Structure 1
Amino acid sequence: MDIKFFKKPVFKEPVMIAAWPGMGLLAVISADYLRKKLDAELFAELYSPKNSVFLRNGVIEPAKVKHLFYYWNNLIICIGEAQPPTPLEVRMLAEDVLNVAEEFGVKRIYTLAASPAFEREELKVFGIVNKEELLKEVSRYVPIAKGEGDITGLNGVLLGVAKERNLDGICLLGQIRYMDVPQFRSARLVLEVLTKMLNIEIDFLELDKEAEKIEESIKERLKRLEEIKIKKEEKERLEYIG
């Protein structure tokens, strides 16, 4: 494990939130917004290999992905720049992150993940746990996800590895409209639940503004596509008549 500590805070029963880029960037948007609102302080950087090198003025240098650890009171927030490309590397990074968590006495890990919603469906947040005894607690805040399926990447794998170490693991699964567009609205919904669970108060003004910008942009794009479609249909109809 390649890690650099800037300081080693002292905690009392800390919990950790961990997030990496995924669908709609929901996890990192949520975690980074919380970090900024709490003015959490950077205390460590964990480095993982990158499947590329960095080129500067004709000279190659090693390239690494950073996973940053911040703290505020008894909360640790880990935010990764990118997820590893292979299952083995995902597993190794999960082990490294949990090594840091356990070094500071963390007993509970929260992750955030995204799930596609149906077009007209109201966006919701669901809970997933890595121990059956957590179901009752989490169900007080959100419905428990039903059915079967995979949670890919670190936002899911981390909780599986945490279970092997007997650490509590909770994932908040937020529904999203678009997988390739930043999902600020869904991030707000997830953060509303997470902050209640952690008994933290923050405002969501900037998040709401970003959500409105994205939604307005999507409306404009859909409007233009509809106009193009109508013009195309009119042209085809005229050609058929002619």
Structure 2
Amino acid sequence: MPDDLKLNKPWLVAVWPGMGHVAISAGYYLMAKLGMHLLAEFSARELFDVEHVEVKGGLIRTGRLPRSRLFVWMDPQQRHDIIVFIGEAQPPSGKYAFCRRLIEYARELGVERVFTFAAMATQMHPEHDSRVFGAAAEMGLRGACLLGEMPHIFAQLPFPKASLAVLKVFTMIADIEIDTAELSEQAQAMEEKLGEILAEVERAMEQQMPTEEEDSLGFELPEAEGLSPEDERLIERLFEQARRDRSKAYELKRELDRLDVFDGYEDRFLDLFKKPD
């Protein structure tokens, strides 16, 4: 953390990739809409294994380890600043040690409350409202884990409705306001898509015509395709808009997710939130 940065009663929100992209989507949305900037990089390299290599110019190089970064929003009303921790991945082992180290770092920053976002899979129907469940924190810091409800049969698909529900609860607790219109539209669009999928599944079950090529839900998910020149131009235009106005960053992320290329652009996306020199 920069030596000259003074935080005012900060709260920490920690998110990682997980089921339904519930936590990570909520974290990115909060970060974008509050116009946060990069605070620090959190190092825990020894807890991650090298799982792949990269080939460039005929040379094999060790694959990049997942990064973990913290972004900050300074509350203009001076009630409590908010720090969002975004981890690119959870360590394959040592998760508890990782979390303890993060909490210790949070204490050094003066964090007074800790929140994590997550998903909870239930028997809910995609058309129903997502509930939010809570779990208490430990280690002497006040806080909670907010879990957004999502349908268990779609656990491998994004479910923005749960992200929206979690954000509504958190912003109510934190007494802050953000524009959730984009996330609401995304949630509505996904609800309609999942409703269509369920209808297809029900028809397939009625016809009793499953095939080996179908997945466990009775339908095949579309495969990601390469970027077209039009897609590349759109991405560059959205990057430029987000560079000028960080509140536009979530629109960019939504498009990168739609094109299934966010992993390749993640570092560049997060660079948008670096504090200007």
TM range (shorter): 0.7 to 0.9
Partner residue in 2 for 1:20? 16
Report if the CA contact (8 A) 1:17-1:77 is conserved: yes
1:43 shift after superposition: 1.7
- Provide the TM-score with structure 1 as the length reference: 0.72
The verdict on how the C-alpha distance between 1:62 and 1:180 changes in structure 2, with shifts beyond 3 A counting, is: closer
Aligned-pair distance for 1:230? 4.2
Q: What does residue 169 of structure 2 align with?
A: 193
Residue 71, structure 1, aligned to residue 67, structure 2: no
**CA shift for structure 1 position 171:** 1.3
Q: Deviation digits for residues 63-90 of structure 1, max 9, x if unmatched?
A: 311111000011110011111112xx21
Task: Verify: 1:225 aligned to 2:221, yes or no.
Answer: no
Note the C-alpha offset of 1:223. Answer: 2.7
Q: 1:183 pairs with 159, 179, 185, which one?
A: 159
User: Hey, what does 1:145 align to over in structure 2?
Assistant: none
In structure 2, what is the equivalent of residue 91 of structure 1? 96
The 3-state SS of whatever aligns with 1:59 is strand
State the alpha-carbon separation in 1 of the partners of residues 171 and 124 from structure 2: 27
Give the direction of change, closer, same or farther, for the CA distance of 1:52–1:10 in structure 2 (3 Å limit). same
Partner of 1:170: 144
2:115 to 100, 110, 115: 110
Q: What residue is the counterpart of 1:215 in the other structure? A: 191
Letter aligned with residue 170 of structure 2: L
Aligned counterparts of 2:85 and 2:96: Cα–Cα separation in 1: 16
Which 4+ residue blocks in structure 1 deviate beyond 4 angstroms? Answer: 5-8, 230-233
Residue pair 2:50, 2:63 contacting (<8 A) in 1 also: no
1:10/1:104 contact within 8 Å kept: no
Specify the alignment match of 1:127 in structure 2: 134
Distance 2:20 2:38 in 1: 25
Aligned to 1:50: 49
Q: Secondary structure at the match of 1:201?
A: coil
Alignment RMSD: 2.1
For structure 2, the 5+ residue unaligned runs are 75-80, 210-277
Moved more, 37-46 or 97-106: 97-106
Would the aligned equivalents of 1:54 and 1:62 in 2 still touch at CA under 8 Å?
yes
Which residue, out of 81, 88, 93, partners 1:81? 88
- Post-superposition Cα deviations, 1:5-24, rounded to whole Å, max 9, x if no partner, equal 57763101111000112221
Shift of 1:232: 4.5
The separation in 2 between residues aligned to 1:229 and 1:62, in whole angstroms, is 43
Unpaired segments ≥5 residues, structure 1:
131-162, 234-242
| C-alpha displacement of 1:212 | 1.9
Structure number with the higher strand fraction is 1
Which protein shows a greater Rg?
1
- Do the aligned partners of 1:115 and 1:175 also contact (CA within 8 Å) in 2? yes
The alignment's TM-score, normalised by the length of structure 2, stands at 0.64
Taking the TM superposition and a 5 Å limit, the aligned residue runs for 1:138-157 are none
> Is contact 1:17-1:110 (8 Å) kept?
yes
